[in-house]
């Protein structure tokens, strides 16, 4: 798979993991491990979502077996994607309150707890990337909109684009409020 698509897959998996954390009482570390050690040869909801996202037609829905009869392990992510997923997941979780504050500021007609969980997860990942990762803003917004088209509702792409566009318009002000010692904004 192309490098850009693998990054897209890691971002999308991060959104799915954050969504899972919002929708369940699962422990964050357990979810993180489940995604990073996901075996594509197994059948569970995460693997089914991964298969659909990556369009891996080459994998049958049957469990693969090794020659000795044991189940095969087919890693969903290579080491670079695991590192990216872990970084995005931990960063988005660590800066969740800041992201939610920015969402509330730049989408005031939508209380954060009333925004669709998947849209909220997409915004949290994108805001983290905008503020703390060395990724071009256009790439962050494009990826967020593409993930919204894939996972969100009909109005999700426009909503995501609007909120992120408003944040970008005020990025200088937001960046000025960042704490130079921690890299986090003090809102």
Cα–Cα dist 89/81, whole Å? 12
CATH fold for the domain made of 78-176: N-utilizing Substance Protein B Homolog; Chain A (1.10.940)
Q: Where are the domains of the chain?
A: 78-176
pTM for the full predicted model: 0.78
Question: SS3 of 181, please?
Answer: coil
In a structure prediction context, what are the per-residue pLDDT tens digits for the chain, which is 187 residues long? 566 777 888 898 899 999 999 988 889 898 888 878 776 556 555 655 655 555 433 333 344 445 555 555 445 677 888 899 999 999 999 999 999 999 999 998 988 888 999 999 999 999 999 999 999 999 999 999 999 998 999 999 999 999 999 999 999 888 766 545 445 444 4
Indicate the length of the chain as a whole number.
Answer: 187
In order, the DSSP letters of 48-98 are HHHHHHHT-TTS-SSPPB-TTSSBP--BSS-HHHHHHHHHHHHHHHHTHHH
């Amino acid at each position: 798979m192309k490098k850009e698509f693998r990054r897209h897959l890691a971002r999308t998996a991060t959104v799915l993991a954050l969504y899972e954390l919002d929708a369940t009482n699962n422990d964050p570390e357990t979810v993180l491990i489940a995604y990073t050690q996901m075996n594509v040869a197994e059948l569970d909801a995460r693997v089914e979502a991964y298969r659909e996202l990556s369009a891996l037609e080459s994998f049958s829905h049957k469990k693969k077996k090794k020659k000795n009869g044991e189940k095969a392990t087919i890693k969903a992510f290579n080491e670079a994607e695991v590192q990216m997923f872990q970084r995005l997941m931990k960063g988005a979780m660590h800066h969740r309150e800041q992201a939610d504050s920015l969402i509330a500021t730049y989408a005031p007609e939508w209380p954060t707890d009333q925004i669709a969980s998947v849209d909220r997860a997409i915004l949290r990942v994108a805001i983290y990337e905008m503020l703390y990762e060395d990724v071009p803003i256009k790439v962050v917004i494009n990826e967020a909109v593409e993930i919204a088209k894939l996972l969100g509702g009909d109005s999700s792409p426009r909503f995501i684009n609007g909120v992120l566009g408003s944040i970008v318009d005020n990025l200088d002000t937001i960046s000025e409020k960042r704490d130079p010692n921690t890299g986090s904004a003090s809102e």
